[in-house]
Structure 1
């Protein structure tokens, strides 16, 4: 509750937090808009594969061109300006950087960046949930061993959910469920970049004018992003994952303690203490009144009759038994809130959520009948969507992680709805991301 005061202190001392960011897309741009006016933070470096894109992001978020003309990190440090580069290694190996933000969304790149941050003694904030779910337990362990912080990104839903879970547990409340809201119908699992825009009420032309990437937006719609984010929450909090994927029950904010309790008590959960995503649409397509499409929630249980009575006395909305209650946050502001992570990591040495185990995984599932010889096109594409599974089940069936389901070729036909397995692929060349994933599986598999 005093991060702002601590940032002001760093500013007065003339040693603002030196932060570097890799990736100048939408999330990164939102952070840039706030970083510019946040005391105690210095954007010392910005990397993007296209330097002109990085400059455009700074320009569009209100930065003075004189503020990003440094020719090196050293010059940026002494002048208080920003160094722009197309090589992320310039930032990861450069001495003045305290905190690196990975906002690329590319799992292979995220793995490289996290490991390099550990090797070079820099804290890392992973906006890149895709990399975290692919190999997060190993990446976090490497960072801890190196004495640096590996953190989720505040403002993104997984970190906000972890905060709510931590709040409930610190209050001595039993967490029954935690997750987020989204717009969901079962038909969305088959959506492709060619069909995505009508589901959002947009035309392809209007989306193109807004610079919207159809494959990226489709990953939010087809269930993949929800699965990735809930796997990250499960791996950070120890909450369980559903045995056969997210159920996406329709649910309003007032129904949270009713819908998100065990099925044995009239709810929808397999068990107490699991992640779940709720839908803002009824299964017939009608809107849920009082939905939580943009927000996050935690459902908790009173540990005693006295606590349950307090719930009633202070007006908490509960289930009919009076024992299950919920708190929710209706919105998340993604990159606009990322400064909380940067400040917490740099000043307190404390992550805003971090991976601690491997309990949830995201498997590639065929969107339609796929043929031998077909090359997969990854998250949000035409071929597969990502389904949340317990890590034990993923290992048992040899599931192909969604983060590695790009550019690989099938050696047999796959029916729509089937999980794609490693054994279904033509020989996959060993690369850095694959080898790190294999190492993570060996080190952190539930049966290990």
Structure 2
């Protein structure tokens, strides 16, 4: 059995999705909160601490790893976690990447609706991450930086009336509502996964399909011969997309964008492709990825 770790945000999000579906609600969106500004995609281990309000000495004294914390900030970790949720739940991934709309708890049902209805989503049933910062850097009111959420649509007028009567946060129409958890305790909640697996034989979230992928995107103009340094590094960050778009583009997954050299230049903001790098096809991780891609193409044909 493979299981997500309860306490980490993907498992908590999957739990909210299961709850919503079990109640008969259509899931409009699901995801988490984080600290985000567009400039963070360019962040490197040399610049990361200023974004957290720390200096290098304070971070070192606390035992904080610059590359790891930079992957939290530059969008890579959010993309990986939302890919995990999409692949576990069947929710869609935004083809062009996460939008990170600034959004507090009270605005979840309004912002996390399809764009056709005035929200921020490409369509219904999507994963998305909300930012705890407005685009000008001001803090979002009642932000969800440490939490997770699901937005739902009432299947009937009666259910919509219940949303209002029972005090759920709704949009102006009353048909869309949100349920959220304002925190996650990471390792402190892991026993839920352990006991669920041992006593119930159930995973707290597990992949079921190849719905979403995380592709490597250049942080700066990269020349041929540049060695990519993967998650949280100086050269690339991970952007969420659909598995179909990733395969169509021949995109290099972020998990394999480490320790490989470019054979062609890649401009800032461009997706790195398999054809742009010298790859060791005999590497076990590469072989597994190639097998996944072949399986996905066969299923789509």
The equivalent residue for 2:23 is: 171
* Pairs within 5 Å for 1:40-439: 149-439=1-291
State the Cα distance separating 1:426 from its structure 2 match. Answer: 2.2
Measure the CA separation in 1 of the matches of 2:279 and 2:13.
39
- Contact residue 98 and residue 129 of structure 2 kept, 8 A: yes
Deviations 1:332-357 (A, max 9, x none): 00011111101110111000011000
Higher radius of gyration, 1 or 2:
1
3-state SS of the aligned residue for 1:151? coil
Measure the CA separation in 1 of the matches of 2:75 and 2:151.
22
Measure the CA separation in 2 of the matches of 1:314 and 1:216.
41
- Contact residue 362 and residue 402 of structure 1 kept, 8 A: yes
> Does 2:289 correspond to 1:440?
no
- Contact residue 392 and residue 447 of structure 1 kept, 8 A: no
- Number of paired residues? 300
State the Cα distance separating 1:442 from its structure 2 match. Answer: 1.5
State the Cα distance separating 1:444 from its structure 2 match. Answer: 3.1
Measure the CA separation in 2 of the matches of 1:328 and 1:171.
15
- Contact residue 191 and residue 218 of structure 1 kept, 8 A: yes
Measure the CA separation in 2 of the matches of 1:429 and 1:288.
46
Measure the CA separation in 1 of the matches of 2:198 and 2:51.
41
Deviations 1:406-445 (A, max 9, x none): 0000011110000000000124342111101111111234
Measure the CA separation in 2 of the matches of 1:309 and 1:387.
38
- Contact residue 192 and residue 380 of structure 1 kept, 8 A: yes
Deviations 1:289-338 (A, max 9, x none): 10000000000000001111111111212111100000000000001111
Measure the CA separation in 2 of the matches of 1:382 and 1:183.
20
- Contact residue 357 and residue 444 of structure 1 kept, 8 A: no
3-state SS of the aligned residue for 1:322? coil
- Contact residue 281 and residue 287 of structure 2 kept, 8 A: no
Deviations 1:136-157 (A, max 9, x none): xxxxxxxxxxxxx211110000
Measure the CA separation in 1 of the matches of 2:210 and 2:134.
32
Measure the CA separation in 1 of the matches of 2:253 and 2:119.
30
Unaligned runs of at least 5 residues, structure 1: 1-148
Measure the CA separation in 2 of the matches of 1:319 and 1:427.
49
Seen in structure 2, the aligned counterparts of structure 1 residues 427 and 181 have a Cα distance that, compared at 3 Å, is closer
Measure the CA separation in 2 of the matches of 1:291 and 1:307.
27
Measure the CA separation in 2 of the matches of 1:304 and 1:408.
53
Measure the CA separation in 2 of the matches of 1:387 and 1:166.
26
3-state SS of the aligned residue for 1:409? strand
Seen in structure 2, the aligned counterparts of structure 1 residues 172 and 427 have a Cα distance that, compared at 3 Å, is closer
- Contact residue 296 and residue 329 of structure 1 kept, 8 A: yes
Q: CA RMSD in A?
A: 0.9
Deviations 1:204-230 (A, max 9, x none): 011011111100000000000000000
